[in-house]
Each structure stands twice: as structure tokens, then as C-alpha cells.
Amino acid sequence: MASVSPSMSSDPLPSFIPLSSGHVAIDEDHRQLADLAARFRQAVAASNLPLAMHLFEVLLSGMQAHFKREEGLLIAASAPERYDHMAMHEDVMRELLTIRQDGFRVLRCWPDRAVDLLGHLLRRTQAHDRRSAPSFAGGGSLPPLALLLPQ
Ligand SMILES: [Fe+2]
Ligand SMILES: [Fe+2]
């Protein structure tokens, strides 16, 4: 089992670290999504619920678009793990959509838990992306991800 340092365990707001996959556009997606997640975390810490909900919405649509881009690369590469990876994407989207369908109850009632849950989901996606990095790296170029960022 991995050890947890005291500073990590006492931090209720986990860090969201972008993953380097070896594909320029996919790495840029990860950077933008990690930035959005960090802004979500800051909005929660500032008890700015309307902004947190808005950022969650942008993150949700950004992740949906990002997953489609990755899936295109995985299918083009006939990556052996593609179905496993795509099933994880579907699972993560289902969890994110449930949060919204519940009227952001987790965010309204247990904001730190909402941040922890997002951190857990992002770590799950990172674990699969790490495994698929060789398949992404050989893929063609992609246009930048168009996220509707709040001003
Ligand atoms: Fe992925
Ligand atoms: Fe990814």
C-alpha cells in the first residue's frame, strides 16, 4: 500500500496534476482540464457555489470532448486496451453526470467531498492514459480543444 505523507492527508483539497501522454494536443487537453479542476477547487474553497457549478459544467463538457479525441486515437491505433479505456471513460462520465443530475447535492452539502470525488475520477483517467500513452503518441495532430472558459 502506498504511504501518505502527513501534509497530503491533512490537505482536504487534492492537487490536480496534468498528465504527459506524449501527444501534444492530448497533453494540452490535460493541462486545460487540470487548470479547470484547480479553478473548481478554488471556487469550492472560496464557497463560491455558482462559480463552482459553472466550472463543473465546463469541465464535464471538456472531459466529454477530450474522451472522444482520445478514443479516436485509440481506435485508429487499434490499441489492445481501447475497450477497457473507453469503458472507463463511460464510467467516469456517468459519475460526473450523476453529480449534475442530483442537482449538485454533493457540492452543496459536502463540498470537500465533491473535490475529493473529482480528484478520484481524474486519477482514474490518468492511470488509463498512462497505459495508453504509446498509442496516443503515434497518433496524428488534433486541433486545440475548444473550452468555454468563464471570464
Ligand atoms: Fe483517457
Ligand atoms: Fe486523458
24-45 in b/e form (b: 16+ CB < 10 A) is ebbbebbebbbebbbbbbebbe
Cα of 3 to ligand 2 centre, how many Å? Answer: 26
As a whole number of angstroms, the distance between CA 109 and CA 136 comes to 39
Task: Report the pLDDT value the prediction gives residue 113, as an integer from 0 to 100.
Answer: 94
Reduced DSSP (H G I as helix, E B as strand, rest coil) percent helix, strand, coil of the chain, to 5: 70, 0, 30
Distance 113 CA to ligand 1 centre (A): 23
For residue 137, what pLDDT is reported?
Answer: 86
Q: Please tell me the predicted confidence (pLDDT) of residue 141.
A: 87
- Identify the pLDDT of residue 150: 58
pLDDT in tens, 82-97: 999 999 999 999 999 9
Which pLDDT value is given to residue 3? 43
Q: Is the dihedral of CA 107, 31, 26, 65 positive or negative?
A: positive
Q: 49 C-alpha to center of ligand 2: Å?
A: 26
CATH number of 22-137: 1.20.120
Residue 22: predicted pLDDT? 83
Please state the domain extents for the chain. Answer: 22-137
Predicted confidence (pLDDT) per residue in 96-126, tens digit = 999 999 999 999 999 999 999 999 999 999 9
Q: What confidence score (pLDDT) does residue 108 get?
A: 95
Distance 132 CA to ligand 2 centre (A): 9
Gap from CA of 70 to ligand 2 centroid (Å): 7
CA of 49 to the centre of ligand 1 (A): 28
Ligand 1 centroid vs 131 CA: distance in angstroms? 9
Q: Closest ligand to 71 CA? A: 1
Q: What is the mean pLDDT of residues 130-148?
A: 86
Mean pLDDT of 39-59: 95
Residue 104 φ/ψ region, left for φ over 0, alpha for ψ in the -120 to 50 degree band, beta for the rest: left
Residue with cell 479505456: 85
